[in-house]
Homo-oligomer: A and B are copies of this chain.
Amino acid sequence: MGSVTVYGPPISTAVSRVLACLLEKDVDFKLVNVDMAKGQHKSPDYLKLQPFGQVPAFQDEHATLFESRAICRYICDKYADRGNKNLLGRNGAGPAERAQVEQWLEAESQSFNPPSSALVFQLAFAPRMGLPQDPAAVELNQAKLAKVLDVYERRLGESRFLARDEFSLADLAHLPNAHYICSAGKDDMFASRKNVARWWEEISTRLSWKKVVDMYSAPPA
């Protein structure tokens, strides 16, 4: 243990997805900042870790990896016996239970992420970067996200969490984008849907996620 390194700024949604997973799994890690304003993510050394020039990158003694959701799966598989043991379904429960998590993790990736990432950029990052907000993009993506949340509302009426009656990687993967959207004054998208509101309250108050949010304002040295 102790040899896990994550590269990237914790305010990045993809970086914080990995941090939330490591905290759930009780895996110690070192966070190495990548100063994207200075273009460090496009430097030759960094491109050896992450060929697309994106964050995060991840290293332990056995693997150098990119793509937040692939890294999260690896953390769950590699550290199967540490921390939260059921993030990909219960150990030994078999492929069908893992697949329930995988399908909702893919729903996050394919259906929730595109409009929510666009909203995060418009509502949270564009203002920080001094860029003008595009009201048409906000409206379009808010409408797309609303349709996804309508499906979630029905699903969460029959299941406590998205994949199962237990918190999983599928729920965890939503935390970063949803956090920024709620913090930027669009929390009504979640609060106005009864089951989504209950789910969001439950997942966003987990100790692991609170620690990540603390790192947004006070990243470790």
A95 within 8 A of B: yes
Question: Nearest CB to that of A148 among chain B residues?
Answer: B52
A107-B95 Cα distance, complex, nearest whole Å? 23
A155 within 8 A of B: yes
Check B73–A102 contact: CB distance below 8 A. yes
A interface secondary structure, majority: helix
In the assembled complex, how far is the CB of residue A179 from the closest CB belonging to chain B, in whole angstroms?
20
Known: A74-B96, A98-B77. A103 touches B151 (CB 8 A): no
A63 within 8 A of B: yes
Known: A77-B99, A95-B77. A70 touches B106 (CB 8 A): yes
Check B51–A99 contact: CB distance below 8 A. no
Check A151–B102 contact: CB distance below 8 A. no
A34 within 8 A of B: no
| Binding-face segment, A5-13, A35-43, A108-116, A187-195 | A108-116
